[in-house]
């Protein structure tokens, strides 16, 4: 078996609760948590540099499952950044609070004094950037007694579930993504990277640069409309897509423990952090990996 690919995979029957576990290499095991998105990864220590085999296995698992979950990863800031750098250059968030002396570490914090928490609405991270982040890696250090889960949704599944007619309309559209609507009243203008809110235009359907699959790239957090449509049409379509993207069958739900890590691919997923634990504390750190400019290529199979 070629390490890190899904060719000739062996299936481990050790777990009999639902989905099979795929052995990616001798040590690394990947257990899907839903049919379309999310997998738990066992047998990898993220505090040390990845071997070439481990990197290939994780990269392959991320392409297949879109979000990877790890347990018991007590990462220092340097180790967290080191893991992120295996997948690309690190991104500095335009607005969010950062760890002292570590601008690449986004601090995710909620307690009894805050008015909002990061990621409460469905979104793909910083889709208002011209080159939005490819991936994000969040470690949660302090979890509330109950709650504080994060939902993840596959935007491949959301796109593929639409009728051919709706797909044909969407591939013609350009979506406008604005930082202002998401960041105003949250992080505050004074934290902004360039003193201004980022905004960008992206195809409403995005081709994943690695898998070649098409995904919906419209989200509640940042997308404000479609360039080619009248405002009333644009508002109605956005409203439908927000509801559609949040359908439970496209989702998985991750229950955090201390030092759990989630690594998601922003190009084909959205996520939503659930704030159901007020006034308790939830605290974590996110490293974000830079990405490239979204584009759309018709898939050869659909002809769309
Ligand atoms: C985020 O959007 O990065 C926050 C996710 C979370 O806190 O679960």
Q: For 198-209, what is each residue's pLDDT tens digit?
A: 899 999 999 999
Q: Which atom of ligand 1 is nearest to the CA of 119?
A: 2
| Of residues 274, 119, 102, the one with CA closest to residue 187 | 119
Torsion angles phi and psi, residue 294, rounded to 5: -65, 145
Candidate CATH numbers 3.30.70.600, 3.40.50.300, 3.60.130.10, 2.40.50.100; the one for domain 10-289? 3.60.130.10
pLDDT of residue 3: 33
Structure tokens at 137: 């890696």
Cα-Cα-Cα-Cα torsion 51, 292, 155, 184, nearest 10 degrees, comes to 110
Cα 203 from Cα 207, distance rounded (Å): 9
Question: How far is the C-alpha of 245 from the C-alpha of 249, rounded, in Å?
Answer: 10
123 has catalytic annotation: yes
Q: Which residue has the tokens 């893991």?
A: 83
- The verdict on the CB of residue 84 being under 6 Å from ligand 1 is no
Give me the half-sphere count of Cα atoms (radius 13 Å) on the Cβ side of residue 299: 19
- C-alpha 153 to ligand 1 mean position (Å): 13
User: What confidence category does residue 291 fall into, taking pLDDT thresholds of 50, 70 and 90?
Assistant: very high
Write down the pTM of the prediction.
0.90
Rounded CA gap, 206 and 176, in Å? 13
What is the structure's pLDDT at 185? 65
Ligand 1 atom closest to Cα of 271? 2
Strand order in the sheet with 150-154: 251-254, 150-154, 269-273
Q: Average the pLDDT over each of 19-33, 113-127, 145-159, 290-304 and give the range with the smallest value.
A: 19-33
Report which of 221, 199, 178, 179 is spatially closest to residue 95, judged by C-alpha positions.
179
CA distance 118 to 136: 13
Query: Which spans in the chain are helix H?
Result: 52-65, 77-85, 155-160, 164-170, 179-183, 231-245
Q: How many CB atoms lie within 10 A of CB 300?
A: 7
Which listed residue (65, 80, 93, 123) is catalytic?
Answer: 123
Q: Considering the chain, what percentage of its residues have pLDDT values greater than 90?
A: 78
58 within 8 A of 5, measured Cβ to Cβ: no
Instruction: List, in order, residues 6 or more apart from 183 with CB less than 8 Å away.
Output: 94, 95, 189, 192, 197
Q: Which atom of ligand 1 is nearest to the CA of 123?
A: 2
- Distance between Cα 67 and ligand 1 center (Å): 13
Of 91, 125, 267, 282, which residue is the catalytic one? 125
DSSP element (H, E) containing 273 = strand 269-273
Average pLDDT, the chain: 89
Confidence tier at 302 by pLDDT (50, 70, 90): low
Q: With a 6 A CB cut-off, is 206 part of the ligand 1 pocket?
A: no
């Amino acid at each position: 078996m070629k390490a890190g690919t899904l060719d000739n995979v062996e299936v481990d029957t050790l777990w009999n609760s639902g989905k099979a576990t795929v052995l990616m290499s001798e040590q690394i095991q990947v257990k899907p948590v839903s049919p379309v998105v999310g997998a738990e990864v066992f047998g990898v220590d993220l505090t040390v540099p990845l071997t070439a085999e481990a990197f290939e296995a994780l990269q392959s698992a991320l392409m297949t499952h879109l979000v990877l979950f790890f347990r018991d990863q007590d990462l220092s800031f340097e180790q967290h950044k080191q893991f992120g750098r295996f997948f690309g250059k690190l991104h500095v968030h335009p607005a969010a609070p950062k760890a002292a002396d570590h601008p690449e570490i986004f601090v995710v914090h909620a307690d009894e004094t805050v008015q909002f928490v990061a990621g409460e609405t469905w979104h793909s991270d910083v889709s208002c950037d011209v080159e939005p982040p490819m991936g994000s890696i969040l470690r949660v250090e302090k979890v509330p007694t109950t709650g504080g889960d994060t939902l993840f949704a596959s935007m491949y599944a959301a796109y593929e579930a639409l009728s051919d007619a709706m797909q044909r309309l969407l591939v013609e559209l350009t979506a406008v993504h604005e930082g202002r609507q998401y960041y105003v009243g949250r992080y505050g203008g004074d934290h902004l990277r360039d003193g201004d809110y980022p905004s960008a235009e992206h195809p409403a359907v995005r081709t994943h640069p690695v898998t070649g699959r098409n995904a919906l790239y419209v989200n509640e957090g940042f997308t404000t409309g479609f360039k080619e449509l009248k405002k009333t049409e644009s508002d109605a379509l956005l409203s439908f897509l927000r509801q559609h993207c949040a359908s439970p069958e496209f989702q998985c739900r991750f229950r955090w423990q201390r030092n759990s890590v989630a690594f998601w691919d922003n190009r084909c997923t959205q996520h939503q952090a659930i704030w159901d634990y007020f006034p308790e504390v939830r605290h974590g750190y996110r490293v974000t990996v830079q990405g490239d400019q979204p584009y759309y290529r018709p898939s050869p199979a659909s002809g769309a």
